[in-house]
Homo-oligomer: A and B are copies of this chain.
Amino acid sequence: MSTLFVRFRAESLACNGEFYMHLPPKTVPFFMKDNPYYQRETKTLILLHGYSGDSTDWLYNSAAADFSLKYNLAVVMPSGGIGFYVDKKATGHRYCKFIGEDLIAYLRETFGLAKERDNTYIGGLSMGGFGALHTGFMYPETFSGVIALSSALIIHGLKDMKPDMPEMMANYEYYVDTFGDLASAENSDHNPEVLFMRNKNHGKENPRIYMACGTEDFLLAPNRAMKSFLEENGAELLYEEGPGVHDWNFWTPHAYTGIEYLLKK
């Protein structure tokens, strides 16, 4: 296995984007000779970090190296900023486009990776779980699978935010900066549900989805709501709950389960 840290010019960001990647060996190592995942082409899994995270979160805290070696996966861990992986109109603030277009284009032209939809997955945790669903539905011809863990599905709550609200994770100005008009955000392309329905109505195949959330996670309610939405609208979904809060003790084992769900199709 090799590990790469890459900075590459991304038009969407008007500067360099960055990612870490664990890349399985091209030549099957002797101890993987009987591993069924090495009987086919390397697949690509992009893993998105949460709010206040960066490219090192999955790298340092999960078993990303083991994901890569065990499942013959190119595991790509970009830094995606603090903008919920959505696009703003301002130059350099296109975080969805960064993942779904610039990063994918770089992986294809530099390494020959992520060329086929069937070989390309996206996952994430918390803000990155939101991002994985949103980016997956924005680019349904690029991604065939989504892993969304403890997803920060805050889109329906934005319309109730007020300038004088108590500041939890971020202030009111942050949400306006990120999503624009908060009143209409849930009806815009910022809402993964809007994208999912559009794909469905236009006959575009949505990605298969694995979702998981801890039963003690403060984000449980919106995850259950998303589950209901997806089931009612015919998504191909595996949804799981289990004991746990918003931390790596929950995310790492459920990432394994999500990967196996996507690979076992």
Interface residues, chain A, CB within 8 Å of chain B?
A: 1-9, 13-16, 23, 25-27, 51-54, 56, 59-61, 63-66, 81-82, 88-93, 106, 109-112, 167, 169-171, 173-174, 176-178, 248
Contacts and interface: CB of A to CB of B under 8 A. Distances in A.
A56 B26 CA distance: 21
Contacts of A109: 26-27
Contact of A170 (B53, B56, B92, B167): B92
Given A92-B170, A176-B90, A9 B15 contact: no
Contact of A177 (B64, B88, B110): B88
List the 7 shortest-distance A-B pairs measured between CB atoms, nearest first: A2-B8, A91-B170, A90-B177, A91-B174, A90-B173, A90-B174, A89-B173
A6 B14 contact: no
B2 A4 contact: no
Contact of A3 (B6, B14, B88): B6
Interface core residue of A8, A25, A90, A170 (most chain B CB under 10 Å) = A90
Contact of A65 (B1, B2, B54, B60): B60
Contact of A4 (B4, B61, B81): B4
